[in-house]
Amino acid sequence: MELNKIYNMDCLEGMKLLDDNSVDMVLTDPPYNINLIPQRGLTNPIENDNLNKEDFITLLNSCATEFKRILKQNTFFLTFCGWSTIPEYRQTFDKQFELKSMPIWIKNNFGIGYYTRPQYEPCLLYLNGNPSPLEKPISDVWKFNKVLKPIHSCEKPINLIQHIIRHFSKEGNLILDPFMGSGTTAIAALQTNRKFIGFEIDEKYCEIATKRIKPWLEQTRLSPTGLQ
């Protein structure tokens, strides 16, 4: 498959086309299965975000199997998740990888809530094999502002994704995001001198993501150190 490209397809089908031991890092933000209703109708609903529990676990299990196959040995896999479905994430991913920690992204403002108002999202940090420890271990509390005008309901800030990529991969590495959304992981990968490959099942978001990454792809190609 062509690198530095986002494919409009089901990631489970797309990942089957990737070679064994071909990816240096998986960083993703899959559906939390919470039936999120976008506020004020400004963004599209999220595909596969309202599955029954059995189907959701099947989806995560299938992803875990593919991640294990395509990841190189001694690498990292990180996934954002919702607090309410952490048990399902752990039930599936713990079988294939070693859970090392659960960093928390703290946002600069609160969401809507009737008892407590959400201000954070967890991220599960998994080891595939035995990757080398970081030269300078980082805090597991990540404070980054929310995206001011999001394109996607669950859009992560680019500087947060850059922070993760810089610490858990190396320049020139290939980053996989099977739930690419609006393309943030792709942009962050290019900005940190990495390559990427991604899948997005929603045609609208795939088109948006492809347009968003175009200027960064052009800049990368023109750079003397750009990755091809």
CATH of the domain at 141: 3.40.50.150
What are the residue ranges of helices labelled H in 71-225? 86-93, 158-168, 184-191, 203-222
pLDDT for 17 equals: 97
pLDDT for 195 equals: 97
Q: Give residues with Cβ within 8 angstroms of 85, minimum separation 6.
A: 32, 33, 34, 56
Q: 174-177 and 23-28 as β-strands: parallel, antiparallel, unpaired?
A: parallel
Helix and strand tally (H, E) in the chain?
Answer: 6, 9
- Written as tens digits, the pLDDT of the chain (228 aa) is 999 999 999 999 999 999 999 999 999 998 875 555 555 455 555 665 566 788 889 999 999 999 999 999 999 999 999 898 899 999 999 999 999 999 999 999 888 888 999 899 999 999 999 999 999 999 999 999 998 776 756 779 999 999 999 999 999 999 999 999 889 999 999 999 999 999 999 999 999 999 999 999 988 776 655 554
Residue 113: inside a domain, yes or no? Answer: yes
**Cα distance between residue 43 and residue 45, in whole Å:** 7
Q: Count of domains in the chain?
A: 1
Grouping H, G, I as helix, E, B as strand and the rest as coil, residue 24 is strand
| DSSP code at position 52 | -
Residue 173: inside a domain, yes or no? Answer: yes
Which residues span the domain enclosing 109? 5-222
Residue 227: inside a domain, yes or no? Answer: no
pLDDT for 49 equals: 59
The DSSP element (H or E) to which 125 belongs, if any, is strand 120-128
Residue 228: inside a domain, yes or no? Answer: no
Residue 121: inside a domain, yes or no? Answer: yes
Are the CB atoms for 32 and 60 separated by under 8 Å? no
Q: Is the pTM of this model over 0.75?
A: yes
Residue 36: inside a domain, yes or no? Answer: yes
Q: Give residues with Cβ within 8 angstroms of 181, minimum separation 6.
A: 29, 152, 154, 155, 200, 205, 209
